[in-house]
Structure 1
């Protein structure tokens, strides 16, 4: 993916990254009691490891390890294969996802520079070859803890709509826009909107464009 295709403005070049670091640092301090209690509950109800790590593509498709609190058990069938997500996702795990508490460890990813506070959500590595040229543009910016698509439907919209919104964000990165998304995210989380799609426990698998 070309590193020159995205033209950065002043905000994105000089303010966004320091702002991300400060926001994530303050959030970690303020939310540390919540994260500690969540970690203890995850350990009791779901076992170890408490933190779930998974490779995700970031800026320019560079792979990084995403951190989340685990929300699923390791339940397997007789052949040793993991059971479907809807079986392994417990009621406790659903509560973590509905409140977005499972995503709090991503604040560490923001401190490390893997992610931004606002940007397209980091998806699965196996989706990379399935994007068309326009959809792949979502990797021209750092992935976000929240994003434009997350406050305009989250998991209740189609993949195509989600990618269109991701690219819209890439082309409209502004200070006011980012803070609008941040405040809208708070409302979306409190209302628990768009947590699941109509056909899956979270979001159905992306299988490429029609």
Structure 2
């Protein structure tokens, strides 16, 4: 009987997993530092001097960080063999979930701070500015369509009818099909 290399050298496998985890951790932090460097190099820190420019500048930073974390989310769920061997799929899913919440909160902060900053820091002008940004700026309608719509209360109570607005206007995942099929359900051709 031939033994697998992992069975022969269990210490080596543990060392490889540890190295992969360290590289993944450092890569994530380097990507966050890189986008922060881009923000600083573009004058982000200097813009913190004024109220409106400070809001806009912090909004840009939160948008950059959210984008970097969204990319990390894709990598976490891409089933990269080395990452899956080092962390396990369950741990990757937990990290993916935490990264998703963090990224979503940063995206919301980006939306609020950019809009409020463009409204010259005046809270009363913010709704009109949000409308102007959405309608007049290129690509913003697509960005709004990509924002997840909260699930309705009757969905949490077990209704199988998804919100029509979510199905039509948002590519956000709907929880109802996942509840019915489970995570690893095979695709069925009908």
TM-score by length of 2: 0.28
By percentage of residues, which structure has more strand? 1
Which one has a bigger Cα radius of gyration?
A: 2
Q: Give the number of the structure with larger relative contact order, counting CA–CA contacts within 8 Å between residues 6 or more apart.
A: 1
